Amino acid sequence: MLYIREIGLIALSIVFIPFSLLVTCVAGMLCLTGLIRTPSPIPAVHRGKQVKVLVTGVSMIKGLFLIRTMYLGGCEVIAADFQNKWIPSCGQFSRACSRFYALQQPKGLKGKEEFFEKMLSLVRKERIDIWISCSGVATATEDAQVMQLIEKHTECRCFQFGEEIITSLDDKYRFMETTASLGLLTPQWFLLDSQRSIDHALQQATNQESQDSRLQYILKNVAMDDKTRGSLPLLRSSEPKHMKAILESIDTKTSQWIMQQFVLGNEEYCTQSLVIDGQVKAFLSCPSESVLLHYKQVESNSILDDAMLKFTQTYATELFRKHGQFTGHLSFDFLALHKPSNQGVTKTLLPIESNPRCHTAVVRFCGREKQLASAYLSILPDFRSGHTIVIPDKDKMAVTYYWIAHDLVDLYVMPILDFCTMSKNILQVLDSHLQFWRLVLFGKDPTFEWWDPVPWFVLNHVYWPARFIEVAFRGIQWSQVNVSTGKIFEA
């Protein structure tokens, strides 16, 4: 049974190569014959030359989407990403990408210095006007430090927050503290960093239980921790002994934890916004979950969407006032608290996390790429724009964004295997297959564009097979995969 998952997934990829190759070749032929119009955007000119944009993090779909976005906005796009020489990034094969640079992960002091030097050299060599950072949380601090170097030594403008802002938003404790200090509503929470703080949290939760026996809490590591993510049980104030046992089992000597109120209703939302000098230039919101792979849209300008936008604007304005710099991508996660009222049931939004980086939900700007590119370009003096906020295309609001490789396994292959092991009946299998075909026929895989099909082929038949071979050889135990970000969660 060793490596059975890796072997099965690689075999599945091989089986579908002929089909994917056919689709890719047909798309290429349609472009060559003119049956599908290849975009020919008007160049965006700054200081007498076409604007050059550097996009990093192009192994992820959000990076690929922004390569295409800035290309459609008339820019020359240079891409870069951390890369194992055996595992290519899908974004480097986009026809929207002029050149690609491989970067080395900044490990240790020497590795960081080499990374800083490489990035600064790249910006100078290519005469980059704008750097759009789509890198992940693992290098968030290094990206912030690079931003300061680039803006100090070049005229390049960066969509990347500074180090202090990154730290304050990534740290769950500091985020809750900052949110409360701004007078914004937060769920009840407790910082757990010692036995004394655990005793205090238990006492407070027990006191709350006398008022509301339905109160529940979740545990979160203050830092990013994929191994414990989603694996810790709910804590009920009505079960103090169980709560005490769980809290005393966590390690508070090497990690800080937050015990946060769990909001009944099971409605979670996330946002994606583009901020320049504290002003929100683009915004969207969508329903969310722990590992989000189906992107739907909350109706723009609805009460719910407006509430999340107002929260984002308040945060951006206040942090710009505090730091004097606030330009980058900003995302928030919210839970909806249901409360009875005279009008029935009202929803109150409670912020639970912030992510000071680009969210994969940015793909929902599909169809509005030129407007989004204009928002990015407005950071340059020649492209100053008004205060209109770019929102997703309303005509595409009903479209669900999905990843065919994920759903082929999750909704088509796995139900068949579950049926064979008698875990599912035939009706459940048919329902899963119906969901799959509904996505294929009426949804959109954001990796695939008829005028730019190669990244889709590379992602499904080169990148992921290579990643599964890598984890097998390294003996990595994993629990799940996020196809959209290229992330494998270790068990």
Domain boundary among 229, 246, 262: 262
Phi then psi for residue 249, to 5 deg, are -90, -15
**For residue 236, what pLDDT is reported?**
81
CATH number for the domain spanning 280: value is 3.30.470
Residue 484: pLDDT band (50, 70, 90) is confident
Nearest C-alpha neighbor of 262 from the set 187, 197, 200, 179 = 187
Whole-number pLDDT of residue 137: 77
CATH of the domain at 244: 3.30.1490
Least confident interval from 257-266, 363-372, 463-472: 257-266
Q: Mind giving me the DSSP string for 41-62? A: PPPPEETTEE-EEEEE-TTSHH
Let me know if residue 177 belongs to a domain.
no
Q: Are 368 and 411 in the same domain? A: no
| pLDDT for residue 431 | 96
> Which of 262, 289, 305 corresponds to the end of one domain?
262
Distance CA 371, CA 373 (A): 5
For 402, the token pair is 């999905």
What pLDDT, on the 0 to 100 scale, is given for residue 343?
64
Is 36 part of any domain? Answer: no
When divided into structural domains, the chain yields a total of: 4
In terms of domains, do 257 and 273 share one?
A: no
The boundaries of the domain holding residue 132 are 41-163
Residue 387 burial (C-beta neighbours within 10 Å; 0-12, 13-18, 19+): exposed
Burial of 14 from C-beta contacts in 10 A (0-12 / 13-18 / 19+): exposed
Q: Specify the CATH number for the domain of residue 90.
A: 3.40.50.20
Q: Does residue 429 sit in helix, strand or coil?
A: helix
pLDDT tens sequence across 35-75: 988 898 999 998 889 999 999 999 999 999 999 999 999 99
Helix axes 240-247 and 195-209, enclosed angle (nearest 10): 160
Q: What is the pLDDT of residue 213?
A: 57
Which range has the worst mean pLDDT, 31-35, 129-133, 367-371? 31-35
Same domain, 422 and 464: yes
Residue 340 has pLDDT above 70, yes or no: no
133 and 216: one domain? no
In a domain, 172, yes or no: no
Q: What mean pLDDT do residues 109-114 have?
A: 91
Asked whether residue 179 is domain-assigned, the answer is no
- Asked if residue 275 and residue 258 are part of one domain, the reply reads no
How do strand 257-262 and strand 189-192 relate by DSSP bridges?
Answer: antiparallel
Return the pLDDT at 452.
97
Half-sphere exposure of 155 (CA within 13 A, CB side): 9
β-strands 49-50, 76-82 pairing: unpaired
Instruction: Pick the more confident residue, 428 or 225.
Output: 428
The pLDDT of residue 212:
57
171-228 pLDDT, tens digit per residue, is 888 898 888 888 888 888 888 888 888 888 888 877 765 555 567 888 888 876 655 5
Residue 430, C-beta contacts closer than 8 angstroms, at least 6 positions apart? none
Residue 467 lies in a domain: yes
Q: Is the pLDDT of residue 249 over 90?
A: no
64-78, 231-245, 447-461: range with lowest mean pLDDT? 231-245
Report DSSP state, residue 448. Answer: -
Threshold 0.95, pTM exceeds: no
Same-domain check for residues 194 and 77? no
Task: Quickly count: other Cβ atoms within 10 Å of residue 179's Cβ.
Answer: 22
| pLDDT-based confidence at residue 490 (cuts at 50, 70, 90) | confident
Q: What is the pLDDT of residues 264-294, one digit of tens each?
A: 666 889 999 999 999 999 999 999 876 778 8
3-state secondary structure (DSSP) of residue 398: coil
pLDDT-derived band at 133, boundaries 50, 70, 90: very high
What is the percent of the chain with per-residue pLDDT over 70, rounded to a whole number?
Answer: 93
Same domain, 114 and 141: yes
Terminal-to-terminal C-alpha distance of the chain: 17
Is 180 domain-assigned?
A: no
Domain shared by 474 and 413, yes or no:
yes
Q: Is residue 344 part of a domain?
A: yes
Q: Of 222, 241, 262, which marks where a domain is finished?
A: 262
- The overall average pLDDT reported for the chain is 89
| Same domain for 410 and 474 | yes
Co-location of 100 and 80 in the same domain: yes
Structure tokens at 207: 């006191």
Give yes or no for residue 386 having a pLDDT over 90: no
Average pLDDT of the segment spanning 324-328 = 94
| Residue-by-residue DSSP string for 344-366 | EEEEEEEEEEEE-S--GGGGGGT
Statement to judge: residues 203 and 236 lie in one domain: yes
Q: Cα 157 to the chain's mean position, in Å? A: 22
Region 227-236: what's the mean pLDDT?
Answer: 67
Whether 345 has a pLDDT exceeding 80, the answer reads no
Q: Amino acid letter at 305?
A: D
Assess whether pLDDT exceeds 90 at residue 14: yes
Q: Do residues 406 and 413 touch, judged by C-beta distance below 8 A?
A: no
For residue 148, what pLDDT is reported? 94
Residue 390 forms part of a structural domain: yes
Contacts 24+ apart (CB under 8 A), 8-16: 9/409, 9/464, 9/465, 9/468, 10/465, 10/468, 10/469, 12/408, 12/409, 12/413, 13/405, 13/460, 13/461, 13/464, 13/465, 14/461, 14/465, 16/408, 16/460, 16/461
Tell me the percentage of the chain whose pLDDT exceeds 90.
Answer: 58
Residue 52 and residue 145 in one domain? yes
More confident residue, 287 or 343: 287
How confident is the model at residue 124, as a pLDDT?
A: 97
Pairing of strands 52-56, 76-82: parallel
